[in-house]
Chains A and B, each alone.
Chain A
């Protein structure tokens, strides 16, 4: 572990909202990833932050794609330094909320099951 702070500017909000950019400071650990920082934010600052991930560290689920400084990356393999980085949702997918976009194949989502359309 090394001292210092990682700084993230995180885009918040859902479809139709004016995006809000929220700054977070996260204790820096040697080798930490953007996903490490987002998980830390949920557990220590604001659990309402919407993120999507599953395998956490193995880079096999491919669910944690976000935009960091305008580049599409996997949050789990994108290393953080101590310079501030901006983290936002993918811009070419429908926004669900905060950092989560609709990357689900149509045949693998609830609408594929429904008898009545639901909500």
Chain B
């Protein structure tokens, strides 16, 4: 028997964007249901964020959101949707103060929020929670607010497999109950996609297990558009060696905010200046796209560290300063055999964030009536290269907006649920025979490893025509190999069944990246073509991806420009 859920607004994904969206939809008067493939408030990227949140709260030094916007647009290498970027920067301080009132515990100094400088920012702007605790504090604070919201229900381990659209409007969704392998229908007048990004598609990633591109695939299959899919951000200094457990691989950034640190090649020499960005020993300033390219180039030239990256060294910093900056984290490092006073660690680029995503307007509405997106699922605000600290700001601001506008959208609207429109999605789930002895072999889990290797090698930091063509051919074959419905599976905690829906999404989304990367015959921000090394002013446009009759198409669209005046900072004079 299929389980049935009825609500006004369904939010898919319970990271910061999804939780914020659910809270805002509930506040807007909508009956709201929040679901996640993982457990509520524990899956996704948010809880792993150890770093900082960019917002011009101007508590520490004079600042204004227009300055944050200027820095965001500069980082975006000309491609930002300036309307979305302006919304992000203008509203980030409101959300930061709201979270402060909800007792998140932003780090403080004297009588103000402490704000640190991060690469690409023109002011000390980024707030955080000590020590390396920003993401867990965000997750805990929002999860507590969920519990206090009216007309808000939530459930983990529920995988939305399709958004259901009838007569051009969203009418709900179909999902898989992981515990039983059974189907769930969710009647909803609006659906918000907040299921995060796609970095799990790459071999080296900082992703959680459910970041295989679900938001993008669900949006495409519902008829919505994607934008900027060729721009995957690689975080330059992801941990490489020695093996660390219990620490996120992107953990070195906060150390660098506070202490600088030196990035050295295998010969012990500083090198970022050779790629257009000199760093001094106490300042961390190289933008992510530049630093990633620099490390990769040193490795390619035979000057990498033993494990194939660069050294990050804090050996010149006194132990007392390290201890003051990072407190108990020093002990967690010691448990992993790392003593920063004695030697550097090895770091290398790692897939970290997706600039591209679902194409939305300022209300976070897609081209499909009733379908919204929020957080990393949204494309456009960060252009070709995201400014550090903008990911959580975006989750808060876009999440709140998606929830607020979806609640307005559904007010007074009746249910338009269509069992017929849901039927194909229900049949897919029913096609999987429950078999207690089903032993699928490595199957799709092995295919994921192959896809990750393929994306890393041919659709990663450095791309070529030949590599992209080969990747496209292989992905097309993989799409044929998985067929059009899942095989038999043990339905008790139906992980193998979920693997099939995951793989369908991942392959579709992988193809969108390849197609965008292929058409963009230039190098810009996070998209670097070995065969087109220069930035081409004629390609200062966005690429939009659509799915129709099973075929993906990609076409350029003009940029969204929004002129603004940079606010004069009197106190800075």
Q: Bound complex: CA of A1 vs CA of B35, how far in Å?
A: 40
Asked whether, in the complex, the Cβ of A118 is within 8 Å of the Cβ of B184, the reply is yes
Neighbouring A residues of B33 by C-beta, 8 Å:
113
Q: Which of B33, B243, B448 has the most CB of A within 10 A?
A: B243
Asked whether, in the complex, the Cβ of A58 is within 8 Å of the Cβ of B38, the reply is no
Asked whether, in the complex, the Cβ of A44 is within 8 Å of the Cβ of B247, the reply is no
22 sample A-B contacts, Cβ–Cβ < 8 Å, listed by A number: A31-B245, A45-B441, A46-B439, A46-B440, A48-B440, A51-B495, A54-B42, A54-B47, A55-B48, A55-B208, A58-B248, A60-B135, A61-B42, A104-B39, A108-B155, A108-B156, A110-B155, A110-B158, A113-B35, A113-B153, A116-B4, A119-B3
Provide the A86-119 mask, 1 if CB < 8 A to any CB of B, else 0: 0000000000111010111001111011111111
Closest residue on chain A to residue B5 by CB atoms: A113
Q: Which of B42, B48, B184, B499 contacts A47 (CB 8 A)?
A: B499
Q: Bound complex: CA of A98 vs CA of B496, how far in Å?
A: 13
Q: Bound complex: CA of A44 vs CA of B444, how far in Å?
A: 10
Q: Does A14 contact B (CB under 8 A)?
A: yes
Asked whether, in the complex, the Cβ of B492 is within 8 Å of the Cβ of A57, the reply is no
Asked whether, in the complex, the Cβ of B154 is within 8 Å of the Cβ of A77, the reply is no
Q: Does A53 contact B (CB under 8 A)?
A: yes
Asked whether, in the complex, the Cβ of B39 is within 8 Å of the Cβ of A48, the reply is no
Q: Which of B202-233 contact A (CB under 8 A)?
A: 207-210
Provide the B427-444 mask, 1 if CB < 8 A to any CB of A, else 0: 000000000101111111
Q: How far is the CB of B145 from the nearest CB of chain A, in Å?
A: 14
Asked whether, in the complex, the Cβ of A61 is within 8 Å of the Cβ of B446, the reply is no
Q: Does A72 contact B (CB under 8 A)?
A: no
Q: Which of A14, A54, A112, A117 contacts B153 (CB 8 A)?
A: A112
- Chief secondary structure at chain B's binding surface: loop
Neighbouring B residues of A47 by C-beta, 8 Å:
440-446, 495-496, 499
Neighbouring A residues of B439 by C-beta, 8 Å:
46, 48
Asked whether, in the complex, the Cβ of A97 is within 8 Å of the Cβ of B5, the reply is no
Asked whether, in the complex, the Cβ of A58 is within 8 Å of the Cβ of B247, the reply is yes
Given contacts A46-B439, A47-B440, contact A113 B155 (CB under 8 A): yes
Q: Does B537 contact A (CB under 8 A)?
A: no
Interface 9-mer from B73-81, B175-183, B400-408, B473-481:
B175-183
Q: Total interface residues on A, using CB and 8 Å?
A: 51
Q: Does B249 contact A (CB under 8 A)?
A: yes
Q: Does A56 contact B (CB under 8 A)?
A: yes
Asked whether, in the complex, the Cβ of A108 is within 8 Å of the Cβ of B40, the reply is yes
Asked whether, in the complex, the Cβ of B3 is within 8 Å of the Cβ of A104, the reply is no
Q: Does B147 contact A (CB under 8 A)?
A: yes
Q: Does A32 contact B (CB under 8 A)?
A: yes
Neighbouring B residues of A48 by C-beta, 8 Å:
438-440, 489-490, 495-496
Closest residue on chain A to residue B444 by CB atoms: A47
Asked whether, in the complex, the Cβ of A57 is within 8 Å of the Cβ of B42, the reply is no
Asked whether, in the complex, the Cβ of B154 is within 8 Å of the Cβ of A63, the reply is no
Known: A48-B440, A97-B492, A119-B182. 18 other contacts (CB 8 A): A31-B243, A31-B245, A44-B446, A47-B495, A50-B490, A50-B495, A52-B493, A58-B247, A60-B136, A61-B208, A76-B246, A79-B245, A100-B493, A107-B154, A110-B155, A110-B179, A112-B154, A119-B180
Neighbouring B residues of A82 by C-beta, 8 Å:
none
Neighbouring A residues of B184 by C-beta, 8 Å:
110, 118
Q: Bound complex: CA of A10 vs CA of B283, how far in Å?
A: 49
Asked whether, in the complex, the Cβ of A54 is within 8 Å of the Cβ of B39, the reply is yes
